[in-house]
Amino acid sequence: MSQVFHDIEKKIINSLKKNPIQTPETLEKSTQLLPDQIRRGIEWLKLKNLAIVDESKSSTLSLGKNGIDSFEKGLPERRLLNLLTNGPRKLSDLQKELGFIFGPAMGLSRKNNWIETSSDEIILKIIPSILPGEKTLQQIGSGNLSKDQIDKIDLTELLKRPDFIIENIMTSKKISLTDSAKSMDVSNTSGAIDVEANVPELFVARRHPLKDTIDEIREIFVTLGFSEIFGNMTQSSFWNFDALFTPQDHPARELQDTFFLDGVSAKKIGTVEQIRKVSDSHKKNWRYQWDINEARKMVLRTHTTCVTIKHLAEKKPDEARIFSLGRVFRNEKVSYKHLVEFNQIEGIVIGKDANLRNLMGIQREFYKRIGITKIKFWPTFFPYTEPSLQTMVYNEKLGKWIELFGMGIFRPEVTKPLGITKPVLAWGGGIERIAMLKYGLTDVREFYNNDLGWLRSNTKCQ
Amino acid sequence: MPVITLDYSRLQKLVGKVSKKQISESLPFLGLDVESEDETCIRVEYSPNRPDYSTDFGIALGLQGLFGIKTGGIKLKIKKSTQYKINVTPSISKIRPYVTGIIAKNGKINGDILEQLIQMQEDLHMGIGRKRKKSSIGIHDLNKISFPLLYTTTTRNHKFVPLNSEKELSISEIISDTETGKDYGHLLGQSTQVPIIIDSNKKTVSFPPIINAAITAVTTKTKNLFVEVTGINKDDAEDMLSVVATILQSAGFTLENIQISGAKNSSPKLQEKKMSVDSSLINQTLGLNLNTSKIIASLKKSRLDAVYRGKNIVCTIPAYRFDIFGPMDLVEEVALGYGIQNFEPTISPSQTIGQTNPISLQLKSLDQIMIGLGFLEALNSSLSSKRVLYDMTNRDSQKIISVLDSKSQEHTVLRDCIFPGLIENLSRNIHVSYPQKMFETGSIFNLDNPLSEKTNLAVISAHKDANFTEIKSVLQTALKIGFGIQIETKTAINPSFKNGNCANIIFNKNIIGIIGEIDSKIVDNYKIRVPVVGFEISLSDSILKSI
């Protein structure tokens, strides 16, 4: 199969066939390509063993400020000697005429015995036809030259003098074709292109990775027979806490754990009967003065359980499978493992046959569908469920057990006052935790940074 | 939740013949979360509903049950005595009306035990004591006190030497100068009278709920203890006392009662209560089929006593298990005694048909259309800041909705629209290649008797050629393809948008959103070097269809 070339490569090869040794600059001129295209083209050809790049260092010489001055007006010592050709001159006059070059001119002329000084007069002794350095100065001044074209000794003198000569070291590339390339036909009439070459990266518009996880979880619950309900993120304390048997002096209800809305209270929190029965349950079991104003305080929901319990209290179904998905809030310091706002899934099963083993079975099924098979259950405590369990799942990547969903059966102290007569299985947990496992993240904040680099590049199907 | 450090060798001594491994594997099945573990110690977190787990004595009782080393209820043996009396004066009724207490004799207190007792006291204060407000404990060296005691009130000039002090301080000085005074002094309010316990020699024993007297301090030389609990509710105070009494008895002390009288106070009973539970409730709730003897054996492993009367299981519940409210709590005790690890999960066939919420489906479709139009989905918190929502975008912050005492400055205000967050996102990505096109659907909040929550869509596009026509095309197409809706745009002035490049979005004669080029000052302030165009529309009221 004949080799296929990129347009850039073709142009370079063709140019080198005409003119076998070239620099990138001459290639630019002959091919009309941009410097960057030349650079890439040469690199590709080199990798394919078609081009030879010979790098060499050379130095060129040019005149500095003092060098230019001397090139135009003569070396300082030449100018001094010229002033003396018509007889001795006064030192002070010479100093005035020559200015700052007087010092170096005097020093050199005296050292070489071209002049003599008597009291305040300077007398010429001899005037050489060519002074050291003069020839080199002329050579360099007439055009940049490479170092090896110059008389070394003559140059050394000049190099010692300040700002006379500038030495530029340059790397030059000489590009030529290898033998195999010289005989290669690059005209390519087949229409083939270089299918092996790199192509530019595209940025795909896509769903947020966390939303992908949420969609996946939603779908699992729907296929398990659950229906989705919605509810508000702002809730009265009544539904977020009181209806869930969390006493009004419970630490979770303090400002330091829960976000209370500044100056916002609910006007209507429930039916008269709901309020009476819930408050009676608190007074009887927790023994304190229940305060309706505490229950009116609006909070950012700390769990989605308030949505499901409200739904149950309203509809009182005998048999149902329901779930709710959404943001919940905790007043915490934001860190790699804590957010103030995150997503939670909450599911419930109500029915006369609902029992603890079913509850565990649903969890096991859910975890299986998100690819987690090693799970165990531990007892735990929640104010509104009894019995209460938590799932521990084994994470192979981290090599340890981590806590995922909490679950339990709603306490009679929760269900009875709201007129719910059948047992209710309930569970819930954070979605970001599951998504972190899925995407291998160690910092939960990544989900909300909207870092385009990450959003554009992470792998969608994991 | 409180955390306690358990020393393996102490625990092994208390529990009986068990290995370290058995202990660490069994602790979670008491409901204790293992925090960390090393060669000698294990740190566990316990739920505040089980204050008896605030010491290793309490945890040892639980483990003995699980291992079957000792099962059944823990009975308090309290010797009747008439030697110890507390009289209460009516003046206390309005401040901290109740006192209760117990005598614990002939115990051995070494450094470890002292540490456990202090830890227990601290945890009880924080948890069921609600930071000493509801009830608080004082533990004293009995031998330094002469009975009868008086629980009464005194003025703030009253002086005594408090714990951890060498000199006499007045009540006022204790409240203003000592650490516990500063922490808990507020519990007494502005009252000129404060609670005090004084012995028969007029010596101060305790200034509840703040501090004990130095003279009664418990040391490793103490043999006999006097425990007092004061509080605002008699039952709560006795609950707390029951935990301390149970732990002290487990630690080897013998208990004697105190007679308490005056101002509606009486001697503590610390009585067991009986509660019965139907065995069919147990089996139905757990999904098991246990016979009564298995149920009783399980309850005993949970350190409760039980007998059966036909189908009913009658349980005897010690006073310190005040977390047991009703039969469902006993169901859980059966589950724990039976062992959660022994439950086989089952899946009962679904009798219901699942359904995604129609709103979710519509939002997902809209998201897909936006992605099809080349926009990347972003997610921001609904709880944002005044800076991002108002200051940086020149928006009016009059109707701001704030949360109280946020621990994070970036999360203090509920958003009333989405686009300011997206512009802030652009500012974090100025080094990333353009065009940058993003959208977000999410909830927004407004004050509305008291609050309304609605769903909005916000879209922005930032690149060197971004312009009004481009973004209006996106808006028009998204609504037409998504919902079959035609919209109009009518010139508007908005402080976040460039004058002459901004319009209201009109649908059915109502303004449903805003569209335009973001004001160049806003873009400059964010150091974004390309023009930014965008729109935001409300989806809730007229676009999304609830079915």
Q: Suggest the residue from B407, B432, B452 to mutate for an interface test with chain A (most A CBs closer than 10 A).
A: B407
Query: Do residue B143 and residue B204 come from a single domain?
Result: yes
Q: In terms of CA atoms, which chain A residue is nearest residue B437? A: A205
Instruction: Report the gap between the CA of B385 and the closest CA in chain A (Å).
Output: 13
Q: Suggest the residue from B357, B453, B456 to mutate for an interface test with chain A (most A CBs closer than 10 A).
A: B357
For the record, the structure tokens of A360 come out as 């565990």
Query: Using an 8 Å Cβ cutoff, are A329 and A259 in contact?
Result: yes
Identify the bridge partners of residue B211 per DSSP, sorted by sequence position.
Answer: B207
DSSP for B484-498, written as a single string: ----EEEE---TTEE
Instruction: Report the gap between the CA of A220 and the closest CA in chain B (Å).
Output: 10
Torsion of CA A332, A338, A344, A347, to 10 degrees: -90
Give the one of A229, A329, A351 whose C-beta lies nearest to B383's C-beta: A329
Top-tier CATH class for A209-457: alpha beta
Query: Do residue B248 and residue B150 come from a single domain?
Result: yes
Containing A324, the helix (H) or strand (E) segment is strand A320-329
Query: Do residue B246 and residue B283 come from a single domain?
Result: no
Parts of chain A with a pLDDT under 70: 1-2, 144-148, 188-191
Query: Do residue B60 and residue B98 come from a single domain?
Result: no
Give A225's contacts in chain B (Cβ within 8 Å): 350-354
Structural domain of residue B294, as residue ranges?
274-338
Query: Do residue B455 and residue B511 come from a single domain?
Result: yes
In a domain, B308, yes or no: yes
In a domain, B287, yes or no: yes
Instruction: Report the gap between the CA of B79 and the closest CA in chain A (Å).
Output: 30
Residue A383's SS3 state is coil
Q: Within 13 Å and on the Cβ side, how many CA atoms surround B346?
A: 13
Give the one of A210, A223, A320 whose C-beta lies nearest to B379's C-beta: A210
Q: Suggest the residue from A452, A456, A457, A460 to mutate for an interface test with chain B (most B CBs closer than 10 A).
A: A452
Q: In terms of CA atoms, which chain B residue is nearest residue A425? A: B285
Query: Do residue B15 and residue B114 come from a single domain?
Result: no
Residue B256's SS3 state is strand
- CB–CB contact A361 B347 (8 Å): yes
Q: In terms of CA atoms, which chain B residue is nearest residue A321? A: B352
Residue A445 burial by CB count (10 A; 0-12/13-18/19+): exposed, middle or buried?
middle
- CB–CB contact A261 B436 (8 Å): no
For the record, the structure tokens of B281 come out as 């409730």
Helix residue spans in A249-355 (DSSP H): 272-286, 292-296, 305-315
Percent of chain B scoring above 70 in pLDDT:
99
- At A1 the pLDDT is 42
Residue type, B346: T
DSSP for A154-186, written as a single string: HHHHHHHSTTSEEEEEEEEEEEEE-HHHHT---
Query: Do residue B221 and residue B366 come from a single domain?
Result: no
Give A448's contacts in chain B (Cβ within 8 Å): 379-381
Residue at which a domain ends, from B266, B299, B328: B266
Q: In terms of CA atoms, which chain B residue is nearest residue A252? A: B1
- At A457 the pLDDT is 86
Instruction: Report the gap between the CA of B61 and the closest CA in chain A (Å).
Output: 17
Residue B298 burial by CB count (10 A; 0-12/13-18/19+): exposed, middle or buried?
buried
Query: Using an 8 Å Cβ cutoff, are A14 and A186 in contact?
Result: yes
In a domain, B63, yes or no: yes
Return the CATH number at B242: 3.50.40.10
Helix residue spans in B393-506 (DSSP H): 419-427, 468-483
CA distance B173 to B210: 12
Name which of B361, B134, B110, B127 is nearest B251 in CA terms. B110
Question: Reduced to 3 DSSP states, what percent helix, strand and coil does chain A have, rounded to the nearest 5?
Answer: 40, 25, 35
For the record, the structure tokens of A197 come out as 């070459």
Parts of chain B with a pLDDT under 70: 350, 547
For strands A121-124 and A89-90, give the pairing: antiparallel
Q: What global pTM score does this model have? A: 0.79
- At A218 the pLDDT is 96
- CB–CB contact A340 B381 (8 Å): yes
Instruction: Report the gap between the CA of B87 and the closest CA in chain A (Å).
Output: 25
Q: How many interface pairs between A and B have CB atoms less than 8 angstroms apart?
A: 243
DSSP for B322-390, written as a single string: TT--SHHHHHHHHHHHH-GGG-----PPP-S--B--HHHHHHHHHHHHHHHTT-EE----SEE-HIIII
Name which of B239, B217, B214 is nearest B226 in CA terms. B217
Residue at which a domain ends, from B18, B35, B67: B67
Residue A88's SS3 state is coil
Q: In terms of CA atoms, which chain A residue is nearest residue B348? A: A358
Return the CATH number at B369: 3.30.930.10
Q: In terms of CA atoms, which chain A residue is nearest residue B325? A: A285
CA distance B196 to B162: 12
- At A145 the pLDDT is 67
- At B547 the pLDDT is 58
CA distance B497 to B499: 6
CA distance A209 to A431: 12
Query: Do residue B48 and residue B173 come from a single domain?
Result: no
Give A206's contacts in chain B (Cβ within 8 Å): 371, 376-377
- At A190 the pLDDT is 67
For strands A227-229 and A320-329, give the pairing: parallel
- CB–CB contact A378 B28 (8 Å): yes
Instruction: Report the gap between the CA of A263 and the closest CA in chain B (Å).
Output: 9
In a domain, B546, yes or no: no
- CB–CB contact A381 B450 (8 Å): no
User: What domain count does chain B have?
Assistant: 4
CA distance B387 to A322: 39
- CB–CB contact A208 B133 (8 Å): no
- CB–CB contact A357 B346 (8 Å): yes
Give the one of B376, B379, B450 whose C-beta lies nearest to A266's C-beta: B450
Residue at which a domain ends, from B16, B44, B67: B67
Give the one of A259, A403, A452 whose C-beta lies nearest to B429's C-beta: A452
- CB–CB contact A409 B375 (8 Å): no
In a domain, B242, yes or no: yes
Q: Tell me the backbone φ, ψ of residue A323, rounded to 5 degrees.
A: -140, 160
> What are the C-alpha distances in Å from B370 to residues A205, B423, B441?
9, 18, 10
Residue B538's SS3 state is strand
Q: Suggest the residue from A299, A450, A454, A458 to mutate for an interface test with chain B (most B CBs closer than 10 A).
A: A450
Query: Do residue B82 and residue B178 come from a single domain?
Result: yes
pLDDT digits (tens, 9 = 90+) for B444-493: 999 988 899 999 999 999 999 999 999 999 999 999 999 999 999 999 99
Instruction: Report the gap between the CA of B432 and the closest CA in chain A (Å).
Output: 7
Return the CATH number at B290: 3.30.56.10
Give B340's contacts in chain A (Cβ within 8 Å): 377-379, 389
> What are the C-alpha distances in Å from A5 to residues A21, A38, A194, A446?
20, 14, 6, 43
- CB–CB contact A225 B285 (8 Å): no
Query: Do residue B321 and residue B188 come from a single domain?
Result: no
Q: Tell me the backbone φ, ψ of residue A45, rounded to 5 degrees.
A: -65, -35
Query: Do residue B318 and residue B382 come from a single domain?
Result: no
Query: Do residue B423 and residue B476 come from a single domain?
Result: yes
pLDDT digits (tens, 9 = 90+) for B355-386: 999 999 999 999 999 999 999 999 999 999 99
Query: Using an 8 Å Cβ cutoff, are A356 and A409 in contact?
Result: yes
In a domain, B350, yes or no: no
- Start-to-end Cα distance in chain B: 43
